[in-house]
Structure 1
Amino acid sequence: MIAHDDRSILGLLIEGAEAGIEGVLVTLTGIEGGSSRGVGAQMAVLADGRSAGSFSGGCVEAAVIAEAQDVLAKGYGRTVRYGVGSPYLDIRLPCGGGIDLLFTPHPDPAVLSEILARIDARKAAVLRLNEGGAALSSTPGAHGFQRAYAPPLRLVALGHGEDLTALVRLARAFGVTVEAFAPATDRHAAAEPGVIPLVSRTALPDLVGDPWTAFVFLFHDHDWEEMLLPHALAQDGFYHGAVGSARTHHARLAGLRTIGVPQASLDTLRGGIGLIPATRDPATLALSVLGELVQDYQACAGMPGWSGRAPGRTGQDPASHVPTRN
């Protein structure tokens, strides 16, 4: 990963607890004006000064670490305002806003471990936080600040050539879990580690989706799409897309409609994918597509304060993906 994520933040607190080092989970619960992080962003701070996560470009992190150590020394949590309206006149945010940070000392490492286990199992979870502690929650709107954790973005990429390998490499560098497929005859893709060969157009691979998975088709030989696209569209995912011009996409939809793919599925299939129009090289196409995937993932599933409807073709409610504690 390029930066800290939920796993590294919660993992630091678990690691500290296992070594007998106290820790504090710090959560951004309110914003006044501008902020470089969203509500739900978190930091982990250990008594020895180690930390993971951030709330700014370095403006408040030192103060947060000092505050967390004071919380541990005094034995109780608190909510502190930084920036506008803060009692700390020497700490100002460059955006000119104010943020409220909830300091939760000694979060139960068993609870944090269960959060990570659910993420690993591609399930969502909700942590209820207050100044006294943290607990798993299956009741939206329960007392305390609700922080939802969604499984990370997963990409299933199918295609060939440098368009496929460029997206695979960039997505992996960003920290995305990638499952890639290419025709067995594609020597370029075969040289990329982890790419799974497609032996024929009719031998369908085992594709498994979920509300946090994106399916991207990068074939220029569109004959490969005839069987694979309906197979992918039958899987749950927050994003289904294929490269090609508007004319190509129109023909693609017509062909899928002819073989009986439901209109509801066709309505979810995007053409002309990516944020940058008319890309002309594999690297820019990869950047364009990955940017769109991350944008859409954050909008519907990946933001720290995840709320509203869950992603996916069927429009599930987030609560339907939050299992009750067993």
Structure 2
Amino acid sequence: MDQTLAPITAPIPVRASPTDDPAELLRFAIDAHGLGAAALATLVDIRGGAARALGAHLAVAADGRFCGYVSGGCVEAAVASEALLAMAEGRDRTVKFGDGSPFFDIVLPCGGGITVAIHVLKDVGALQHVLDRLGQRQAAGLVYSPERQTLISVDPPLRTCWTEGDFLTVYRPRTRIVLSGQTLEAQTVARLAEACSYDVIVRGRGEGAGVAADIIDPFTAIVLLHHDLDAEAAIIEAALHSPAFYIGALGSSRTHHRRVERLTALSFRRDDIARIKAPIGMFGPTRDATSLALSVLADVAAARLVAYA
């Protein structure tokens, strides 16, 4: 009796989530690995322009679900398909897209090219270590070896890069906004910051003492939105003693001049006082709370890029 074997059909890649948050992507990969198999695709080379930075990830489950981005969305399904093939073969692979790629039907809108390294996860201990460190608001690092097809956790490098044939990825905690103020402007900044998935902590008048040791770290931006200098006094002093990457304060140039005089009288150095962005924001002056919130958060985002390029 003739028996015809049914063809083996590979899963169809389906986006499971629109996120590009590294912690969420690593968590997705860990969960997928626990259900069967998973792969982690990483952007390891950029030729010309690109929509994402080196180290951007795409996490792929064996059933075809994926999340993350290594471009602006134009090659992610193709990357997921390559990851499914890698899982089926049980071997890592490296694929080029755009300029220099063998895939003639995939052209990146930016006109450049990217290389993506796909690692079939054998265990998730290194990924969990990264998540643990990020949960403690500490930077973390992973080293991927294409030759050994391994992924191990390491102390975070200064930047994401290739070194001696291995690819090093650095992970940093999400931006925390410590917001001081009880104004409409403060409420609007808080809402918009939460919508941007920032970690938002609101402090009221006089809550500056002891704040630095508890919640202000190198990945924190301090935003002071008071209408009088007395209200901000405690937290601005704590801010200047902290490692925050951004300190911004509401007020005109005249108000800031009085602020500088106060802080100078308290023996703060000129370099310390110069850390304060005042008037606050990327553009101004603004005349409504929404415009101010956009200006402030744009300034915070730009400062973070400069601090951790």
Q: Secondary structure at the match of 1:229?
A: helix
Q: Show the counterpart of 1:56.
A: 71
CA RMSD of aligned residues (A): 1.9
- Counterpart selection for 2:211 from 206, 209, 212: 206
Q: Secondary structure at the match of 2:272?
A: helix
Q: What are the within-5 Å matches in structure 2 for residues 81-100 of structure 1? A: 81-100=96-115
Higher RCO structure (Cα 8 Å, ≥6 apart)? 1
Instruction: Please give the alpha-carbon distance, in whole angstroms, between the structure 2 residues aligned to 1:9 and 1:177.
Output: 18
Q: Show the counterpart of 2:197.
A: 175
Q: Show the counterpart of 2:5.
A: none
Of the structure 1 ranges 69-78 and 1-10, higher mean CA displacement relative to structure 2 is found in 1-10
2:109 is aligned with 1:102: no
Contact 1:25–1:107 (CA under 8 A) maintained in structure 2:
no
- Which residue type is aligned with residue 88 of structure 1? F
Q: Show the counterpart of 1:297.
A: 304
Q: Secondary structure at the match of 2:125?
A: helix
Of the structure 1 ranges 264-273 and 144-153, higher mean CA displacement relative to structure 2 is found in 264-273
- Which residue type is aligned with residue 194 of structure 2? R
Tell me by how many angstroms 1:3 deviates.
3.2
Q: Secondary structure at the match of 1:287?
A: helix
2:24 is aligned with 1:8: yes
Of the structure 1 ranges 128-137 and 172-181, higher mean CA displacement relative to structure 2 is found in 128-137
Q: Show the counterpart of 2:152.
A: 135
Structure 1 gap segments, 5+ residues each = 184-197, 307-326
Q: What are the within-5 Å matches in structure 2 for residues 105-254 of structure 1? A: 105-106=120-121, 108-131=123-146, 132-138=149-155, 140=157, 141=163, 143-183=165-205, 198=206, 204=209, 206-207=211-212, 208-254=215-261
Tell me by how many angstroms 1:78 deviates.
1.7
- Which residue type is aligned with residue 204 of structure 1? A
- Which residue type is aligned with residue 268 of structure 1? R
- Which residue type is aligned with residue 184 of structure 2? E
Q: Show the counterpart of 2:11.
A: none
Instruction: Please give the alpha-carbon distance, in whole angstroms, between the structure 2 residues aligned to 1:239 and 1:90.
Output: 44
Encode CA deviations 1:17-49: one digit per residue, 9 max, x unaligned. 222x21111111111111111111111011111
Tell me by how many angstroms 1:160 deviates.
2.0
Question: Residues 104 and 267 from structure 1, CA distance in 2 versus in 1: closer, same or farther, beyond 3 angstroms?
Answer: same
Please say which structure displays the higher CA radius of gyration: 2
Q: Percent identity?
A: 36
- Which residue type is aligned with residue 199 of structure 2? T
- Which residue type is aligned with residue 192 of structure 2? L
Instruction: Please give the alpha-carbon distance, in whole angstroms, between the structure 1 residues aligned to 2:164 and 2:101.
Output: 28
Instruction: Please give the alpha-carbon distance, in whole angstroms, between the structure 2 residues aligned to 1:89 and 1:83.
Output: 8
Contact 1:77–1:105 (CA under 8 A) maintained in structure 2:
yes
Structure 2 gap segments, 5+ residues each = 1-16, 158-162
Q: Secondary structure at the match of 1:27?
A: strand
Tell me by how many angstroms 1:211 deviates.
0.8
- Counterpart selection for 2:287 from 280, 287, 290: 280
Q: Show the counterpart of 1:190.
A: none
2:46 is aligned with 1:31: yes
Aligned length: 284
Tell me by how many angstroms 1:299 deviates.
2.8
> Structure 2-normalised TM-score?
0.87
> Structure 1-normalised TM-score?
0.82
- Which residue type is aligned with residue 26 of structure 1? A
